[in-house]
Amino acid sequence: MTKTVNWLSICVFFVSGLFVQTVEAQASKTIESITNSHQINIAYRDAPPFSYKTADGKVVGYVIDLCNVIVSDISKHLNIRDLKVNYIDNKYLPERDELLRDQKVDMICSVNANVAEWKNLADYSIPYTYSWTRFATLKDKKITNIEQLAGHTVSVTAGSVDSIALNKANRELGLNILVITTPTMEKAFELMHDGTTSAAFINDISLKEIVEGQTDKSSFYISAKGVGKPQFFVILLPNGDNEFKSLVNQSLCKIRNSHDFAKIHDIWFNSPIPYLKLNLQSPFSEEMEQELALNGNCNPVTKITTNE
């Protein structure tokens, strides 16, 4: 009897050990890949001031700056002095799903919100800023609210949080709006500009940047009221990798709790955007700080360990 119990104990211990090792391997898959390859893959798309490629091939932007700090912290944590960053151009938003599903990227550093629709496909960091979905129209159409778009045709980026907000409002308000989806925000705006659609629905930060870049910028009206709820922008991460997510959030919290956070924000939102020379004149505010605190608590912050 004693021999049987001892044998069973050994079996349980052995199987439990295998289970723990399996769970740990799954939990640290991203970190293991980065450690073995000394490379980290970051997807971005052309969406100033969040992320974009300059004429000389440099990938820059507000969220790129934040992700660069995160990469530096990850490099120190894993004791990798030569960590290489591979930027992957997620040119069209619908391709983002494939990048996540096939685990071709470790982080997506661009315009992405923390909506429930991501839960089966990706995880995400705490938020770093927020905006609203708004629409732009030609002023001569004299359309100032979404109710006036009832029965009209509008454009929006496929797979975006703006499309989610638009479709929800269209359904709940019974507006019978015909929605044309496009691969990029710029294309959605172009369809409105040339009269194909009556309005283009885009997050208000990107929308302001697009309008400011037009030679006839005074011809457009941006809705005063946002559609739906505010969008909290996040960094998209591999689904189910809690260890990597924790590492990213620790780094992002460190940034958010520092004086540099407001400075980084104002470089991209309250001064001429590097390489583009547009100024969105949207300074970091106390209201923004409070909203972020309510939707992504950083207190207390666990210190990131380094192996230096």
**Domains in the chain: ranges and CATH:** 28-128+234-294 (3.40.190.10), 132-231 (3.40.190.10)
Q: What is the pLDDT of residue 13?
A: 40
Q: What is the pLDDT of residue 9?
A: 42
Residue 90 main-chain phi, psi, to 5 deg: -90, 70
Helix (H, G, I), strand (E, B) or coil at 65: helix
**Inter-CA distances, 237 with 100, 160, 174, 279, Å:** 8, 17, 35, 30
Tokens linked to 95: 């391709």
Q: What is the pLDDT of residue 299?
A: 62
- Do residues 196 and 139 make contact, with C-beta atoms less than 8 angstroms apart? no
Burial 156-183 (b: 16+ CB within 10 A, else e): bbbbbbbbbbbeebbeeeebebeebbbe
How many CB atoms are closer than 10 A to CB 72?
12
DSSP helix, strand, coil percent of the chain (3-state; round to 5): 45, 20, 35
Question: Which parts of the chain have pLDDT scores under 70?
Answer: 1-27, 93-94, 117-119, 299-308
Kindly report, residue by residue over 24-44, the tens digit of the pLDDT: 444 478 999 999 999 999 999
Where does the chain show beta strands of DSSP type E? 39-44, 52-53, 59-60, 84-89, 107-108, 122-124, 129-138, 153-157, 178-182, 199-203, 220-222, 227-233, 236-238
CA-to-CA distance for 245 and 23, rounded, in angstroms? 15
Residue 13 main-chain phi, psi, to 5 deg: -60, -40
CA-to-CA distance for 240 and 245, rounded, in angstroms? 9
Kindly report, residue by residue over 74-127, the tens digit of the pLDDT: 999 999 999 999 999 988 766 777 887 788 899 999 988 888 766 678 899 999
Tokens linked to 218: 């005074």
Tokens linked to 11: 């079996």
How is 99-119 classified by DSSP, letter by letter? HHHTT--SEE-SS-B--GGGT
Q: What is the pLDDT of residue 293?
A: 84
Number of H helices, E strands in the chain: 10, 13
CA-to-CA distance for 188 and 158, rounded, in angstroms? 9
